[in-house]
Amino acid sequence: MKLITALLVAALGSPVLGAHAAAPLPGDFVFLRDVDPTIIQDIRYATANNFVGRRLRGYDAGECIVTRNVATALKRVQQNLKPQGLSLKMYDCYRPQRAVDDMYAWAQDGHETPSQHLYNPKMRKEDLFRLGYIAKHSGHSTGKAVDLTLVKLPAAPSAPFDPQAAYADCTAPANLRAPDSSVDMGAGYDCSDEKAHTNSKAISPQQRKWRDTLVSAMAKQGFVNYRLEWWHFSLAGGGNTAFDFPVVRPR
């Protein structure tokens, strides 16, 4: 453990103290907005609008951070989508290991919550690890995995998320779920349900068209989709080191 800690310190350099003392990003990480500011960002784990119902550890800002290769590939996807009147919208990018640990601890604490059932309508939180929805390690921590969707242009702002509202669960019709400015993919982001599986048969032809558009656009730039989540993509190649620096704003 001491050796691992020493290696992480060597890789990351001095610790980041928070959003107001942001240090340069380690390795080849970049802020996505520095590469393509036109890509919309809605980083859910920096808010209460997620399955845990609170901000996750390590998300000091709602910023998309990825490796430079991922950022440039996303820029190419965005350029190809623009003539179709579409934009990418990022839900999650680099995820600190401490946030992964936070998710895992939450899934194991035995306490069912109202916010959880909006995202996991048919299962208990302890089932999420067993079924592969939550893991002790995540490709997001390498900076090579992203969660995203499509938005029609010109982008309309979403209604604000109200943590006290009685939203329907993630499998319900889009107008009943928590507000989102994206196209209707048939199931909400982070929905732990078969309806959210990329090739689910329980969606409409139009919802299938949107999923196919997203998968095709991402695949053309080398991204691979995770079959249980229509929103999750990763870019092959490069290192697989998991990082733990916090998500902060650019200086």
The pLDDT tens digits for 215-238 are: 999 999 999 999 999 999 999 887
CA distance 5 to 30: 23
Report domain extents, the chain.
Answer: 2-167
Q: What is the pLDDT of residue 114?
A: 82
Question: How confident is residue 3, by pLDDT bands cut at 50, 70 and 90?
Answer: very low
Q: What is the pLDDT of residue 54?
A: 94
Contact 189, 89 (CB under 8 A): no
Residues in the chain: 251
The pLDDT tens digits for 165-220 are: 999 999 999 999 999 999 999 999 999 999 999 999 999 999 999 999 999 999 99
CA distance 181 to 113: 26
CA distance 74 to 150: 12
Q: Domain 2-167 maps to which CATH number in 3.10.20.30, 3.40.50.970, 3.30.1380.10, 3.40.640.10? A: 3.30.1380.10
CA distance 128 to 135: 8
From the number of C-beta atoms within 10 Å of its C-beta (0-12, 13-18, 19+), residue 7 rates as exposed
Is the pLDDT higher at 85 or at 108?
A: 85
Buried b (16+ CB within 10 A) or exposed e, 164-179: eeebebbbeebeebbe
Residue 133 is encoded by which pair of tokens? 């929805």
The pLDDT tens digits for 27-68 are: 899 999 999 999 999 999 999 999 999 999 999 999 999 999
For 160, other C-beta atoms within 10 Å of its C-beta total 8
DSSP conformational letter for 247 = B
Q: How does the average pLDDT of the chain come out, rounded?
A: 89
The pLDDT tens digits for 105-153 are: 998 888 888 888 899 998 888 888 788 788 888 999 999 999 999 999 9
From the number of C-beta atoms within 10 Å of its C-beta (0-12, 13-18, 19+), residue 2 rates as exposed
**Per-residue DSSP letters for 69-109?**
HHHHHHHHHHHHHGGGTEEEEEEE----HHHHHHHHHHHHS
pLDDT higher than threshold 80 for residue 6: no
CA distance 175 to 111: 29
The pLDDT tens digits for 7-37 are: 333 333 333 333 334 558 998 999 999 999 9
Q: What is the pLDDT of residue 23?
A: 59
Q: What is the pLDDT of residue 2?
A: 34
Residue 170 is encoded by which pair of tokens? 């993630």
Q: What is the pLDDT of residue 17?
A: 34
- HSE (side-chain half, CA atoms, 13 Å) at 156: 8
pLDDT higher than threshold 60 for residue 77: yes
Is the pLDDT higher at 156 or at 47?
A: 47
pLDDT higher than threshold 80 for residue 5: no
